[in-house]
Chain A
Amino acid sequence: MQKLIWILWPSFVVAGIAEAVFFTLIDPQELYLFGEPANFSRIATYSIGFFAFWAVCAASSMFTCFIQRSSREINSCPLPKRERPRDCPKSEE
């Protein structure tokens, strides 16, 4: 849950800023999608744009969380102690 918030919340804030800057400078009616003018209403473009920004920023946050793991976290067995097989070399960890 904490990780989820770490990923979703900062990306939400940054997506909001990115959205404001991007659409202040660019009129959604001037955007092209696959080489054709995007025929969405402006409100729809703004909304979709926001979620696109959010998704991109969340991906970045997710990657940060992913590479932030310590070597102990990576090396240790993901199973809780009592669920590890008896002969597991890491059972004593």
Chain B
Amino acid sequence: MAQTAPQQEKAAAKVIPIQESSLYEAHKKIYARSVTGVFANWRWALVWITQTLYYGLCWVEWNGRQAVLFDLVERKFYIFGLVFWPQDVFYLAVLLILSALALFLFTAVAGRLFCGYACPQTVYTEIFMWVEKLFEGDRAARMKFDAAPLSVHKLSRKAAKHAVWAAIALWTGFTFVGYFTPIKTLAGSVMSWQLGPWETFWILFYGFATWGNAGFMREQVCKYMCPYARFQGVMFDPDTLIVTYDAERGEPRGARSKKADHRAAGKGDCVDCGICVQVCPTGIDIRDGLQYECIGCSACIDACDQVMDKMDYPRGLIRYSTEHAIAEHWGRKQIVRHILRPRTLLYGAILSAIVIAAAVGLTLRQPLKVDVIRDRATLTREVEGGLIENVYRLQIMNLAEEPRRFALSVTGLKGLQIDTDPIVEIPAAATQAVSVRVRVEPDAGKRGSNRIHFEIRALGHDDIFVREKASFLLP
């Protein structure tokens, strides 16, 4: 469209300067009050929920130990009543598959819910921006503050902000390490300045990452570093709920007087105030359509709804909607009906199947594991009475959090018997190697390898029982 010079000048003047680092609080320039709205409340609710869990869970006790602890030194993962060993890596794989499928499902239904509400990057950025606002004011004040010459006042404000940021970041790093080494011991070492070099390093490393990501990099992480942002598009379809600008209703956009009948003047509902751009944490204009930078935080929905309220227009010029719904003018009911579609049903079905299978597997899991290894030093030997003896090493793992006694027996050959003590006691949640000598008459089986079975039964718990095969060599 050809524009005259004054028109171009006017258009250029209206362009809102995009400042890479301070966009989020931008709407404060126009509104004296902070952004309120359904989605802002949801975001803050999620900040509280996720961070209460994150900072709090590591301090919860269970069975006299930390409830959730990924003990790397002992190579045991504790999650409340469950203890996972390296042998349980299967469940870790299941957990990863579940997380991926859940992400697929949520993305197919409602776009980037995770990014907008629960991703640590979003959550910590939210917290850090709140601190920033506390010390440097809202967007307008902050821009002025940053442009102002260096002064004692400026320096002290900046220093205070960074001190609070650093404190949050360090506590975050400490909490992170506290999930991998018992946090109470860790706290003790911090208090007495006896923190190990690696713990110190990882606390500082994670703290530094938090400080940098939430304080400085912010939306850059989402735009340039996050792999999910790049491929989430393939999980979208025309029925996926996304933050959408209703162009049909909004265009042609333009400024107007509140009293004027804008429809008669040939204008749409968009007043082109630019607040949706100013509140956007990634600095995009949602009116240009769906973009990969959009993290689905809905800040623009809240902001636009407030403008619509002021103008006495109906809300929802920017809203959660789907491509189909916008094109076909669907109402809420039809959108909801389209949540159930082959893609989501399939994701849902696979997800529930795996959840059920994993839950059943976990409940039926024997709190006992046994590995039988033949003693490699002596294959077979003849002992007193002409009996033939084989020696085995039984690696017995008691997964229960109480000491247990186990009875060993052996079957498979006539007259096969254990010569060593058939009762072994294993401490709580521990592994013990037991050397077992097994004897039999030389003519009880064929020459060479004979299949036998070890049976290990917990005394007092008849249902805890493991049968492991082994081979017995006869000369």
Interface residues of A (CB under 8 A from B): 5, 9, 13, 24-25, 27, 41-44, 46-47
Contact = CB atoms under 8 A, between A and B. Distances in A.
Contact of B73 (A9, A42, A47): A42
Interface residues of B, number: 15
A13 B227 contact: yes
Contacts of A43: 72-73, 181, 196, 198-199
Give the 7 A-B residue pairs with the shortest CB-CB distance, closest first: A43-B198, A42-B73, A47-B198, A24-B89, A9-B225, A44-B198, A46-B72
B201 interface: yes
Contacts of A46: 72
A46 B70 CA distance: 13
Nearest to B96: A20
Interface string B73-90: 101000000000010010
A27 B75 CA distance: 8
B86 A24 contact: yes
A9 B181 CA distance: 26
A9 B213 CA distance: 13
A30 B328 CA distance: 63
Nearest to B71: A42
A5 B225 CA distance: 9
Main secondary structure, interface of B, reads helix
B147 to A, nearest CB: 25
27 contacts: A5-B224, A5-B225, A9-B225, A13-B227, A24-B86, A24-B89, A24-B92, A25-B86, A25-B89, A27-B75, A27-B86, A41-B73, A41-B198, A42-B72, A42-B73, A42-B75, A43-B72, A43-B73, A43-B181, A43-B196, A43-B198, A43-B199, A44-B198, A46-B72, A47-B198, A47-B201, A47-B202
A27 B467 CA distance: 26
Nearest to A10: B227
A91 B224 CA distance: 36
Nearest to B197: A44
A77 to B, nearest CB: 30
A27 B431 CA distance: 14
Contacts of B86: 24-25, 27
Contacts of A41: 73, 198
Contacts of B196: 43
Nearest to B209: A12
A2 B323 CA distance: 35
Interface in B384-439: none
Interface in B49-95: 72-73, 75, 86, 89, 92
Nearest to A24: B89
Nearest to A21: B89
A44 B72 CA distance: 11
B285 to A, nearest CB: 25
Nearest to B177: A43
Given A24-B86, A25-B86, 5 more contacts: A5-B224, A9-B225, A24-B89, A42-B73, A43-B73
B371 to A, nearest CB: 14
Contacts of A13: 227
A27 B72 CA distance: 10
A25 B85 CA distance: 11
Interface string B209-230: 0000000000000001101000
A25 B201 CA distance: 25
